[in-house]
Structure 1
Amino acid sequence: MNHLIISFITEDRPGIVKVLSDLISKHKANWQESSLHHMSGVFAGVIDITVAAENSTNLATELAALAGFKMQIEQVHPNDLVPETLLVLELTANDRAGIVQEISSAIHQHGGNLLKLVSKQESAPHSGYELFKAKVTISTNKKDIDSMITALENLADDLMVDISR
């Protein structure tokens, strides 16, 4: 089996997921996992699929030819190594330019590998200030957890870090 990672962006409209899933099914591929989002009037996503080697090229060709889609398709070789520790962190702070860079740098400098980042802006209750909220999944060594959390909490007085281990 081949693993394909499909990333795309297209103008939002009804039926996008149906178009993609119909094409994936047509080539007897299996939709493993995905992250799909409506953002600023467009629909964007990343899909991980498995497909038989003999169907892989035709599927990739037909996906790339979809009208109105900007598409990137990569064949990957999944890494079966299980990380020592997975952490899920929920971060909240006053929004500001550069906050994602600060967070990702602190994670990297303390031995973490950022596996997933989902973020949004929302208004703070009662004040109207913009808040940055993020949920991040990190793999790391157990020995690095405390220093990483401390580094994240020290980025700013207003940064709150909730941890799931």
Structure 2
Amino acid sequence: MNRIFIVSFTGNATPQTIKQLASITHDHGGKWLVSKVNFLEELVAGVIKVEIPQENEDLVKDAFCDHEGLLVKFSKAKKHIQNAESIYKLRLDSADRAGIINEISHALDRQNIYILDMDCQRVFVAGGGGVSSSLFTANMTVKVPEDVIIDDVVKDLETLSNGIRVIVES
């Protein structure tokens, strides 16, 4: 019987550390169902949903805990099956401005759209003649209710301001 848990961690680690943890999980019959790992300067923060045979659960959990410099917490989880037809990946590109993430969140919330994942980046662009700007990109995975049409969601997001472009990637 397989067990599912969520491990969250913060602290000092390298990409090699994460690779080792993934390898240990795989070598013991497990897999990472969902993972989000971010490196900020010399620190890492991560959340991973792990499925593992029950007999190997403690071994894999110990592997996470044995890394010095990582603060690790485990939570029980259940297998969650979602309707794939209502899950979309969107990319939103825009000139950056204050409050844009808040506006996106409210626009989606008004239509009862659930944000499963949102990864935002701001890029500074230096232009000719001393003109510079900042570009904003949001990669999102959203769950859309059955009665909402994705093209309407795109149009709604694009009306937040001039120059916003939304692409449905899948």
Is the pair's TM-score, using the shorter chain for normalization, greater than 0.5?
Answer: yes
Q: TM-score when scaled to structure 2?
A: 0.78
Match in the other structure for 1:109: 110
Cα deviation per residue 1:81-107 (whole Å; 9 max; x = unaligned)?
314422221111222333222212211
Q: CA deviation at 1:133?
A: 0.6
Mapped to 1, the partners of 2:168 and 2:22 lie a distance apart of: 35
Are residues 1:163 and 2:164 paired? no
Q: CA deviation at 1:162?
A: 1.8
Q: Is the 8 A contact 2:21 2:63 kept in 1?
A: no
Q: Percent identity?
A: 24
Q: Where in structure 2 are the equivalents of 1:116-127 lying within 5 Å?
A: 116-124=117-125, 126=127, 127=131
Q: 2:133 aligns with which of 125, 129, 133?
A: 129
Q: TM-score when scaled to structure 1?
A: 0.80
Q: Which runs of 5+ in 1 are unaligned?
A: none
Aligned residues: 165
Q: 1:150 aligns with which of 123, 133, 155?
A: 155
Q: CA deviation at 1:115?
A: 1.6
Q: Which runs of 5+ in 2 are unaligned?
A: none
**After the TM superposition, which parts of structure 1 deviate over 4 Å for at least 4 consecutive aligned residues?**
25-28
Mapped to 2, the partners of 1:111 and 1:72 lie a distance apart of: 31
